[in-house]
Chains A and B, each alone.
Chain A
Amino acid sequence: MNRAAPALIASAIHKRFLIKETGKTVHAVTDISLEVQTGSLTALVGPDGAGKTTLLRMAAGLMKADEGTLQVLGIDVTADPQAVQDRISYMPQRFGLYDDLSVQENLDLYADLHGVTQAMRKERYARLLEMTHLARFTDRPAGKLSGGMKQKLGLACTLVRSPELLLLDEPTVGVDPLSRRELWEIVQQMIDDERLTVLVSTAYLDEAERCARVFVLHEGKMLAEGTPGDIRQRALNLCYVATPAADQPPRVLQARLLDDAGSIIDAVPQGGAVRFIRRHEVDQQRLDALLDGALVAAVEARLEDGFMVLLREQHDLEPLDTEVLETAHHPKVEAEGDTNEVIIEVRNLVRKFGDFTAVDNISFSVRRGEIFGLLGPNGAGKTTTFRMLCGLLPASSGFLEVAGFNLRHARAVARRNIGYVSQKFALYGDLSVTENLEFFGSAYGLYGNRLRERIGIVMRQFDLKGKEVSPSGQLPGGFKQRLAMAVALLHEPAVLFLDEPTSGTDPQRRREFWRRITALSEIGTTIIITTHFMEEAEYCDRIVIQDAGKLLALGTPGEVRAQAHGKDSPLDMEEAFISIVGQSRQNNGNGPLAKETRP
């Protein structure tokens, strides 16, 4: 067999960082060896802090390994990073687009930087613009593009010349399913047409499924490597789907399964049922008791299942002290509320920015204690709707009430009813964990013993012990999010607003996050959440799908799936979503965002 030399060979690489504030050394990468075959697609997967980005940056010659050798395209990167950089392309997580320059100007700029000749540009541009569907937007400033379009432009800029190796660092974080699918089509096409070698890091396991080879990293170490099939093998004959009784939301069963770490490795809601992985040595009786008569069928293992098995071998999911969760939190209005009471009412809501209609005449209502999901592609109007509900943005017209008030005009006191967690970490980074909690506690009128008591409770509830004096801005990602949740729940609000809380987080953290959300809803907190992860819609009681400002679907996840493909739809949530949005775009092809996906 005539195999080309590997495009990248790493042997026994180490990388350590000194954390200035603490004086401690962190082992970001420990003894990693791997090979990337020329002309193939290879994935680095792993939870946050696994060392994926560090590894890619070293391969791009932006960082030197402390020990070990790293050969890229036959060149020692440490010795001659420039020679490597001349032949590879690297797309960092946040690609450096110039927001005020147009799509075309951004492309020109990167072509100039890489010295692409005029003759080559013409043909290259035509091809890239066609693949990214950006041809119609060449005059639009990059800052005005939606998140998905920006990411596609970033990829196009990275590909203005033909690199011999393409390094992609989490290219699909924060991108909706439609744009995600398109991004992968572009990458795949480049591999097929130009025999491009690609090394991609990702937190989405379904993306890694399409790669020739997968390296699973965990806390800087190599946990496993192989084809997706090899990784799937780990969960062989352990995967099942359990369908609970009709009147029971699947997330209740899912939470119960997940809490029994002794029997169950992983459980997620899926298509109105619960998909779970059992442990090898599980006690059948105990499992039966857990399932409580739910219908069970064995299913094929997926890459994600294998990955979860691998991770669980490392350490168990932090067992959640659900008792603390449930006793700690009593939404103030709970006593007089019953579950049929409407807590959020939206009628004919419209929001315009100039002549652009971001939210177009939508109506829905949310009942107390519901988990309500707002879904839609980038730029569909979810965030605008969300901000209007929180009172951060005035509506152009329409009726809007949260817990009996329009928060935009209501007296400040009405805002005590809501908690808000924004997409980006939005607490004071220089202030310590305790200082942030104290400040926001007082903002909600808590003081003295009551404040101390509440802070103690949320610290336990969100596992923040031991971090009291750390500056919040320097906490690891997971802690930041838990702190943001703790702050939002300090005053026991009736409604909790969460804007894309799981964007860019790994499956493990998403499980933990949803376990907490499920527990919160059990005790009567209403939750409004936006998300890009369609499978997360399965945790919701009801969802809406928005696109181009319009409301396309509203109902339980099952109802929405049925809307896409009739009753007993075989589609999963992501397929249903793509089908619903796609259909709507086809029907009225001139919606402001419809152009995005059409060639």
Chain B
Amino acid sequence: MFDFLHRIASLCRKELLAIFKDPANRVILVFPSLIESFLFGYAATYDLTNVPYALLDQNRGAISTELIARLDGTVIFHRVATLQTQSDIARVIESGDALLVIQIGPRFEEQLNAGESAPVQLILDARNSNTAGSAVGYISAVVDSFNVARVSMVSGAGPPLIIETRAWYNPNLETRWNLLPGLIASLSMIQALMLAALSVARERENGTFDQLLVTPYSPIEIMIGKAIPTIMIGLMQSTIVLMVALFWFKIPMAGSLVTLYIGLTLFTMASVGLGLSISAVSANMQQAMLYTFLLIMPLILLSGLATPVRNMPQILQIVTLANPLRFAIDLVQRVYLEGVGLLTVIHDVIPLLIISGITLPLAAWLFRNRLL
């Protein structure tokens, strides 16, 4: 047993030395994660902060002016044009100057005073459907509050139904809050996958893998010796993103660090297994790199990081079951934002165990019995 541990330890030591002695490697291990977490934190957001709009007010009454004043009062909407005729609408939308046009008909005030409902028409630039949708939501909210105020003013009574929202786990509904915990898993996956994929391929290219295979190391030992350092580095990546989320973006963490790291370790094991399998079938580093890139895109797309898994077609939802990132993102978000324990996310833990249980032994087997 001592002999076994000693030999594994020296394999790990060798692997870490080889990774950290390369100055280019040292830079790659820290900066990309740091830069990407800032990039995602600031740049990737669905939250609307600046909606340019144009107004076509054919009524120009006191009430319409009041409605528009409420809109202009928010920091989000700002008017870029005030249109005179209907024919101007196409121009401002097409040029992209305005994301939407608000049209208020000539009989607006008349209808309201007569107790009829008065339409406020929105013309949207739906070339970006996400943003347009969110903008509609914001305007509805403004119009709702206008309605409430008006009804109580006219009749003295409150509206029959009102919706009160409390957004749990992310009170201000900030995209950043669900994206950054997701990144804790995805960025470490990219690094762990890449590092694992290159590790055997690099040794094969340099001829050192043969030298390793003629030693008494068994394929399982080589696999363990390669997996442990890579898992350590994957967890280091997660830690970098975690620090940025906690201390820079100040996203409060509800769950326990221990639970989080147990989940992340399982996930990184699965990613490393995947990476080592890629590495074992690749003849050289170029191939390993290519396979990894081919894999990363679908892994991220089918993970639920950007779009929810349940929105996907049934068949793709089944495919996501083979994706460790899908389970990891769910796990990290729930532990981080909801603060749940390991048992609550057991449906994420078990698939991760299964995926590692397949990919890691597969990689070990492939070391000696390469298919290609």
Contact = CB atoms under 8 A, between A and B. Distances in A.
Interface in B178-220: 206-208, 210-218
Contact of B207 (A416, A425, A471): A425
A440 B215 contact: yes
Contacts of A487: 211
Given A444-B215, A445-B3, A430 B22 contact: yes
B17 A431 contact: yes
A537 interface: no
Interface residues of B, number: 25
Contacts of B212: 443
A424 interface: yes
Q: Which of B10, B11, B213, B221 has the largest count of A CB atoms less than 10 A from its CB? A: B10
A513 B22 CA distance: 32
A387 B3 CA distance: 28
A444 B208 contact: no
B21 interface: yes
A442 B7 contact: yes
Given A442-B7, A443-B7, A430 B17 contact: yes
B211 A426 contact: yes
B246 to A, nearest CB: 34
Q: Which of B6, B7, B216 has the largest count of A CB atoms less than 10 A from its CB? A: B216
Contacts of B358: none
Interface string B71-105: 00000000000000000000000000000000000
B107 interface: no
Interface string B1-44: 00100110111011001100110000000000000000000000
A420 B211 contact: yes
Given A425-B207, A426-B206, A392 B17 contact: no
A168 interface: no
A443 B215 contact: yes
A392 B213 contact: yes
Nearest to B225: A443
A443 B6 CA distance: 9
B210 A426 contact: yes
Interface in A387-435: 387, 390-392, 407, 412-416, 418, 420, 422, 424-431, 435
A426 B211 CA distance: 7
A447 interface: yes
A298 B134 CA distance: 100
Given A412-B216, A428-B208, A439 B22 contact: no
Contacts of A418: 214
A412 B218 contact: yes
A427 B208 contact: yes
Contacts of B14: 428, 431, 435, 439
B10 A443 contact: yes
Nearest to B207: A426
A431 B18 contact: yes
A424 B218 CA distance: 23
A422 B7 CA distance: 23
Interface of A: 387, 390-392, 407, 412-416, 418, 420, 422, 424-431, 435, 438-440, 442-445, 447, 471, 487
12 contacts: A391-B213, A391-B214, A412-B216, A412-B217, A420-B214, A426-B210, A430-B18, A430-B21, A431-B17, A439-B10, A443-B215, A443-B216
Interface of B: 3, 6-7, 9-11, 13-14, 17-18, 21-22, 206-208, 210-218, 221
Going nearest first, the 7 A-B pairs with the smallest beta carbon separation are A442-B10, A426-B207, A430-B21, A443-B215, A412-B216, A420-B214, A439-B14
